[in-house]
Structure 1
Amino acid sequence: MKNKSGLYWRCQIGGWLFYGLVSLFFTLSQLNSNPQFAKNFEPTRFYPRLFISLFTGLIITHLLRLAIIQLKLRPPHIKQKWWLILSCTVIGAYFYGLFNSALVEIFELYDPKRKFTLLQRSYYNLFSDSPIIFAWTSFYYLWHYIQMNTNSEIDKIKLETTVKDLELRTIKSHINPHFIFNALNSIRALVDENPERARTAITELSNILRSSMQIEKIEIAPLERELSIVKDYLALEYIRFEDRLRVEYHINEDTLNLPVPPMMLQTLVENAIKHGIGKQKQGGLVKISSTIYNQKHLLIVENTGELSSDYNMEGFGIASTQDRLKLLYGKHANFELTDAGNKLVQARVSIPI
């Protein structure tokens, strides 16, 4: 509140001083270009009148502002009250002229060659000086409309940011349980068959959960960190698939430090296992590639299989990937799921560097 009050007075005083400087500039210009004006110019009358004009203008416009606030005429609460705004402005202009005339009369600053009464001077000033009051009112409302629109845009941006943050957190909260349940199912299958391997799997799962909990507080993570999660996940799945699962990595070392959405790569690999390798009697290949092309970071996950109705484009894994890329990068990121031929399905993510 104090900041707004201070800003108002800086603008108020600065505006009237600017008006005074403009008036002084035009007067001095007339002195240099108009001999008749220079002959009749009286500095002892002009400068005090200019000071009175600025002083009364400062007081009248401040009272006009208080009236606008009291009558609730500031945006956005004005609606059908334009007539009231106009009335206040006209009254303010009249009193501006009246007070100017009264002070000029009191201090005897009027031109003795002009035989005007106080009332006549006030009407004269009303027509000669009132435009500055109308200009003040126009600037006052223009300022508030600009401020209102600016605040509206700021609130809109804050709302969009909040929505994005909530959406990202919601996506994460779904990803982690989704992954955990699948991992636990893999471990459950090993408990009776091979307890030692099951204990190893539990250790690998704890590593993944630890990494996942650390990632929960950030929106992006280095690719190297994501690869470590994927390797632990594939180690768990290898226990279940054994020789039916083959894994290849084609990772450009320059991409290891590039940021990617957390758990996204693991989600794509999990999708490849579920819809690809899990559907093949003979198992198959999961190939993970990371490279840089045309100033884009390309992440590619390929798996043995065919793109069919089993690949639900609105399923959680694919939908969450598309949502996060859209939220974090907008139109600058891209996700494609295609049939790459040679019985390979390719999930391709393009992220701006």
Structure 2
Amino acid sequence: MKKRISYYWLCQIIGWSAYIVLFIFFYLTLRTRIQPSFYQMLVSEASLGFIITHIMRAFIQKYKLVDKPVNEQVIYIILISIIFTLIYGTTTAKLEEWLEFESEKQRQLTFVNKMIRISLGYFFIIIVWNLIYFAYHYIVKTRQAQLDKIRLESLVKELELKTIKAHINPHFIFNALNSIRALIDENPNRARNAITELSNILRSSMQAEKVETVPFEKELGIVKDYLALEYIRFEDRLKIEYQIDEDTLDQPVPPMMLQTLVENAIKHGIGKQIGGGLVRVISDFKENFHELVVLNTGYLNGHVQDGDGFGLFSTKNRLQLLFGEKANFEIKQVGSDLVEARILIPVEIK
């Protein structure tokens, strides 16, 4: 497979070829007199320009000037244009003397005057070359940054969807179905209610990725359905308490977040206690915060369990993305056999 020529080399070849063609056109159409060795000098100057600009590009790449802030890039464009224009002027003046392309009038000038004359004539070409080069890299960087942002947003959405889908533990669904099956004969009414509760939870899980927040009242309803299903399995081993300030029911909360904490309390707290235990859900205002607390019987053992660590740690990230740095989440041991998960969401002062 043939290797394609890079855009840089393609632009260099086309650009300096166009320079030669343009000056030949002007020479043939606007000349007032024949200039000896015009074509040889023109090709020599274009070739030298090709080499000088390539060296200038290597200098730009070595010091990563295109990665500098835009206001600094402007200064660098001017400085390197001046420096390499002087290099070009000096080299061209030497080349004209060496190849004896100078006219009689040019021979009468000092070397410095010849170098300044050539440099002034080619400064515009060099600075335009730099402007095009820097502008191209700026556009490429901006476009790449936009693509990276889109990819990142896509990845975040994908991770959020996976997180939401993972909120409903498959083991919970299997346990709930087994509990419902056991109720069908002995308590058909309760079995029907349990199916409705499970349906509500699954529906909320599927819809959760469509909204950033839901009223706390809706989230609380899902938690109550979840705990009602778990009560079928644990029966008297599970004690459930709610301490809810009704004024908090309309407060916005991330969907399925409280349910995740309650599920964690059941799985790692109540489920590991032979005698079961307590799950208490608290919602209240604390200063300028909506405080959500899940208390459960159990032990933290100084760390969050690896299996559900992502769900708990992502809780803090979700809170801060939605409500800013003031929002907070922590989980800690608050008694000899009591674990507390606490969420603080800042409340807008109206």
**TM-score calculated relative to the size of structure 1:** 0.58
1:347 match: 341
For the residue of structure 1 that corresponds to 2:342, the secondary structure is: strand
1:166 match: 158
- Whether the aligned pair in 2 keeps the contact of 1:230 and 1:269 (CA below 8 Å) is yes
CA deviations on 1:265-308 (whole Å, 9 max, x unpaired) are 11211222233333445443211122344654432100123334
Instruction: Kindly report which structure 2 residues correspond to 1:122-271, keeping only aligned pairs within 5 A, or say none.
Output: 126-176=118-168, 178=170, 179-271=172-264
- CA separation in 2, counterparts of 1:191 and 1:279? 27
2:311 match: 320
- CA separation in 2, counterparts of 1:328 and 1:150? 30
2:281 match: 288
Q: Does 1:329 align with 2:320?
A: yes
Instruction: Kindly report which structure 2 residues correspond to 1:55-134, keeping only aligned pairs within 5 A, or say none.
Output: 126-134=118-126
User: Cα–Cα, structure 1 residues 214 and 275, in superposed 2: closer, same or farther, change >3 Å?
Assistant: same
Greater displacement, 264-273 / 137-146: 137-146
Q: Compute the RMSD of aligned alpha carbons.
A: 4.4
How far residue 226 of structure 1 moved from its aligned partner, in angstroms, is: 0.9
Instruction: Kindly report which structure 2 residues correspond to 1:302-321, keeping only aligned pairs within 5 A, or say none.
Output: 302-308=295-301, 313-316=305-308, 318-321=309-312
User: Cα–Cα, structure 1 residues 183 and 238, in superposed 2: closer, same or farther, change >3 Å?
Assistant: same
**TM-score calculated relative to the size of structure 2:** 0.59
How far residue 229 of structure 1 moved from its aligned partner, in angstroms, is: 0.4
- CA separation in 2, counterparts of 1:274 and 1:196? 27
How far residue 351 of structure 1 moved from its aligned partner, in angstroms, is: 4.1
Structure 1: which 5+ residue stretches go unaligned? 1-63, 81-85, 95-115
% of aligned pairs identical?
A: 46
For the residue of structure 2 that corresponds to 1:307, the secondary structure is: coil
- CA separation in 2, counterparts of 1:281 and 1:223? 32
2:332 match: 338
For the residue of structure 1 that corresponds to 2:283, the secondary structure is: strand
CA deviations on 1:120-179 (whole Å, 9 max, x unpaired) are 999876333432333333333232333333233323322221221111111122223534
For the residue of structure 1 that corresponds to 2:210, the secondary structure is: coil
For the residue of structure 1 that corresponds to 2:219, the secondary structure is: helix
